[in-house]
Every structure is written in C-alpha cells, then in structure tokens.
Structure 1
Amino acid sequence: MSENISDIDYKQVIEYALEPLIIHSQLKIIYVNRAAEIFFKASKEEIIGASPLDIFKESSKSAIDKRIQNAYERPANVIEETIYRMDGTTVEVELYCHPVLMGNTKAIQTYVRDITERKAAEKKQKEMISQINELSSTLVPLLDEFAVLPLLGVFDEERARQLLERVPANVQKQRIKCLIIDFSAIYNLDSLVAEYIFKISTVLSLLGVRSIITGLRPELALVAVQLGINFNSTPTVSTVKAALDLLGIEYNKDSSIQTENK
C-alpha cells in the first residue's frame, strides 16, 4: 500500500539532512538540524533564539536583513558569504533561503553549504593562471635588443588581453628592438583571441620594434586571413631558428653562445 505524502514527517527529513538547515522567523532562529549544530559548533540550545544576522559580518548585515524580509514572499537567489561559527571562526558558505509555514507562522528556511574548499581551489587556480600569464608575457633574451616571446598553452580572451598589455611594456623595459613571436605551442585560437594576439605586432611596430612571427600553423594562418591581418611588414617563418637566420644570428649549440653576424 502506498503512503500518503501528507503522512511524511518533514521534521525528520530535515533533521537528518546532511547539509545545515536553519529556520527563523522575525529575526529569531526557531529551529536548526543536527548538521547545523555540527557546522556551527554549538548545540541547539545555544543557537535557537539567536538572531540569524549574528552570524554575518557587520558590513553584510544590512543587505542580509533586506534579503530576509524579501524571502518571506519568494525564494531568494543563492549567494556566497563569509559567516561566523559560534566559536568565532569564519567560513565561506553558499546560502539559499525560501519561505515556509510553521503552523500559522511565516518563517524562512535557510540552507548553508560550506564552500571553503571550493573557494581555496578557485584561489589556487587563479594564482596558477596569474603565474602562467606572467610567464607567457616573459621575453626570452637572445642578444642585446633581440628576444623571443614563446606563446604557450590555451588562451582565452582575458589572457590574450593581458598579453597585449604586458608585452609592449616588457619590450620597452628591456629595450628590445626585434621580437620573435613564436606560435608553435599554440594549436587553436578563436577569432577574438587571435585578434588580440596578432595586434601585438601592430603595437610593436608603432613603438619602432620589429617583429617576426614563427610557428604559425595553417589553421591559425587562416584565422589571420579571415581577420584581415596584414603581414606585409611582419615576416613569417616556420621556426625560431629560421627567424635567427633571417636576422643573421647564429647559435652555437656546443657552447650555447649566440652571436650576431656582422
């Protein structure tokens, strides 16, 4: 025989839910589940009766208060916040709340999800991307006034934009007169990203810096043609070695010394 949904004890459902749940009304907490006790490092007795605003930083309380008042009528959007546990430690969380009825009392049920690990991973990823971006705009010196810019990895619009900003500045800082831009480690670029990167040679030209493009694959060359990139003033050769030959620079593999033919 099937059970009637009205027979389900929802208090048991939320009590044993794995994520912390708080029910509050008129800025007073009236219920927390077991997971919330563990998360906030306090007992039900210590939490119930407190204001839900108490867990937030002072700078967030006004916006949270407004959010709570609106949530009596409709579910609120998911937000990320830093909140306090009962022992004073802070934690990054994701919050979602919606209206509920406790008998005849309008209340709000709030779900709390710990996102500390996710935020830490995102921070680490951003730091890695920043390091990659810094490395990608590093000029490898050959001789005085000569350098190579090896383009590495996957480029999105933001990374390409940063490259366009940093390379001309680095060129001027290192007093480079000729820059070899090597595409051999780039396999795919969309047209918007490609446009940023190909603009580097144009900007360098305005600065009086000669540029040579190497390692341009057929599919990337096609993108350049579609963008109307003019290579009349920018030589393109297959390899960095070919560019060195074009410049009259010889590389002594045995001694790792680079010399310029006179």
Structure 2
Amino acid sequence: MNVSIAEVDYKEVMEYSRDPLIIHTDYKVLYINHAAEEFFRSTKESMMGASPLDIFQESSKAAISRRIQSAYGKPADVIEETVFRMDGTRVEVELYCHPVKFGDTKAIQTYVWDITSRKETEKNQHDMNEEINELSATIVPLIDDVAVLPLRGKINQVKAMTLLDLIPGKVRDQNVNRLIIDFSGVYTLDRMVIDYLFKITNVLSLLGVHSIISGIRPELAVEAIEVGVDLSTIPTVANVKEALAQIGMILQEQH
C-alpha cells in the first residue's frame, strides 16, 4: 500500500513524539506536544499564547530572541541552555529549532532535550579527572627536606600541565629542598609532554630545589633527547634507592 507524505497527519506525529516540541511564532506559543507538557510540568492550555522566552533565564533572553529571528530563515545550530519548568525548577537542555508552516502561518519548531544526566556524568568525570590529577601530583615526604614524586600510569598533556602547575607550590608548602621525580611507574608517555615534565626541574631549580630523576627507561631517555631535553644537566639514577644514596652523599659532603 502506497501512502504519500501528504496523507500523513503531521500533527499526530508531533503529538506522539517522545521529544518535547514547541511551535511558536511572533513570540507566542501556538502548540506544544504531550512530551513538552510532561517536561515543563504544565498543560497545553496554560502555555498556549505564552512567550517562548518565558522559560529562559533573564541573562539569556536577548540571545535567544536573536536566535529565534534567525531561525525563520534556516535551522539554527543546536545549543545548550538552562530553562525553567512551570514549577520553577531549572533544567539543562539542548535546543534545536527550524522554520515550519503551521497551517498558513510561518512559525518555528523547537525541540527540547533534557541533558541533565549527561551533564552530571560529565561533571563526575571532570571531578574524577581532577582527583586523579591531584593524586598524580602527590609528593611523599621521606627524610628531613627530601621527598619523592611517584609518577604513575599514562601521562598526557593535560596531566603534565597539571603537574607543572601544582608541584612548585607543593614543594614550597612542604619545605622540600630535594625532590626525587620517579618515572618507574609510568607506562605510557606521549612524546609531546616530555618537555613539560622536564620543565618541572627547571622551575624547581629556580626555587632552589635540587631535583633527581629516577626510574627513567632507556626508550624514554632517547625520546627526551630527541625532543631537545638535555639530560646531562639533571642527576639521573636507576631507582629511588640510588637517589637516596646520592642525596646521602651530598649531605655528607655538605657537612
């Protein structure tokens, strides 16, 4: 059986759509579907004739107004916004709108997608990454003014920049004068971030902190040289034990 598009009841399609839909023109709501009623915790009757700008926070209304005007000519890009339900609760949403004909009226159809769960997931992931970065910058005190920075896992550019930002402040707060930077737990290191890591030793040197590199694998040393890091200026040993032995000899010479 062949059915032409003209025979499809578009309003019925909208009504049963699971996406909240609003049709409006001249800043007046002409129609909302059942999903929009549920989403906004309202009714068709109470929203019909209202301004679509009413659901937005005051600081967003001017930009949304310009966006609505541009959508009469072509579909607008998907954006993220905060909207208000009729009970006053705030919701993070994605909005997409495009021009439609509603009867003989030129109007705008707006889709509203709730992204609360996605935003919470993104925030949790961001918080977890920050916690991981903070833990990766943990300085472990050993003896007197000596501490070790045990680097672990995969170090990407973001983590390397975080280390560069956090370590100088941590050594100052913990009164560390000699820091062992241990690479033995690093299993993946992007060549692009090697320079960031060795910049830490330069910054620490300016603060009067003596750095020793331990646990650096031969292939990592080769990569460091290839990106221009001069390892001859940084004391390098096989492990933390050797680093402590070297520090002990330095202390003996000082006394």
Structure 2 distance, partners of 1:238, 1:98, is 64
Normalised TM-score (structure 2): 0.92
1:82 paired residue number: 82
Structure 1 position 5, deviation (Å): 2.3
Q: Which residue of 2 aligns with 1:43?
A: 43
Map of 2:134 onto structure 1? 134
**Displacement, 1:242?**
2.5
Q: What does residue 227 of structure 1 align with?
A: 227
CA distance in 1, matches of 2:107, 2:53: 15
Does residue 200 (structure 1) correspond to residue 206 (structure 2)? The answer is: no
Map of 1:257 onto structure 2? none
Kindly report which structure 2 residues correspond to 1:1-262, keeping only aligned pairs within 5 A, or say none.
Answer: 1-248=1-248
Q: Give yes or no for contact 1:187–1:217 (8 Å, CA) kept in 2.
A: no
Return the offset for 1:235: 2.0
CA deviations over 1:145-200 (Å, ceiling 9, x no partner): 10001123333323321211221122122221111111122222223322111211
After TM superposition, give the deviation of residue 54 of structure 1 in Å.
0.3
The alpha-carbon deviation at position 138 of structure 1 amounts to 2.1
Deviation at 1:96, TM superposition (A): 0.7
Contact 2:225–2:231 under 8 Å retained in 1: no
Q: Structure 2: any 5+ residue segments left out of the alignment?
A: none
SS for the counterpart of 1:248 is helix
Q: Provide the C-alpha distance between the structure 1 equivalents of 2:103 and 2:17, rounded to a whole number of angstroms.
A: 21
Structure 2 residue aligned with 1:252: none
Offset of residue 139 of structure 1? 1.0
How far does residue 6 in structure 1 lie from its aligned partner after superposition?
2.3
How much has 1:124 moved relative to structure 2?
Answer: 1.5
1:105 to partner: Cα distance: 1.2
Measure, in 2, the Cα distance between the counterparts of 1:50 and 1:156.
Answer: 50
Query: Residue 154 of structure 2 aligns to a residue in which SS?
Result: coil
CA distance in 2, matches of 1:28, 1:239: 71
SS in 1 for 2:232: coil
Give the 3-state SS of the residue equivalent to 1:188 in structure 2: strand
**What letter corresponds to residue 44 of structure 1 in structure 2?**
K
Shift of the alpha carbon at 1:89?
Answer: 0.8
Once the two structures are TM-superposed, the CA of residue 233 in structure 1 deviates from its matched residue by 2.3
Deviation at 1:32, TM superposition (A): 0.8
**Structure 1 residue 115: deviation in Å?**
0.6
User: Alpha-carbon deviation of 1:29?
Assistant: 0.7
| Structure 1 gap ranges (5+) | 250-259
Native 8 Å contact 1:188 1:220 kept in 2? no
CA displacement at 1:4 relative to structure 2: 1.7
Instruction: Find the aligned partners of 2:2 and 2:153 in 1 and give their Cα distance.
Output: 58
Q: In structure 2, how many angstroms separate the alpha carbons of the residues matched to 1:74 and 1:220?
A: 53
**Pairwise CA distance, 1:57:** 0.5
Work out the number of aligned pairs and report it. 252
**Which one-letter code corresponds to 1:232 in the other structure?**
S
- Quote how far apart the aligned CAs of 1:243 are: 1.8
Given that 2:152 and 2:187 are in contact with CA atoms closer than 8 Å, whether structure 1 keeps it comes out as: no
Relative to 1, partners in 2 of residues 1:96 and 1:145: Cα closer, same or farther, differing over 3 Å?
A: same
Identity of aligned residues (%): 57
2:201 touches 2:211 (CA, 8 Å); kept in 1?
yes
1:154 alignment partner AA? K
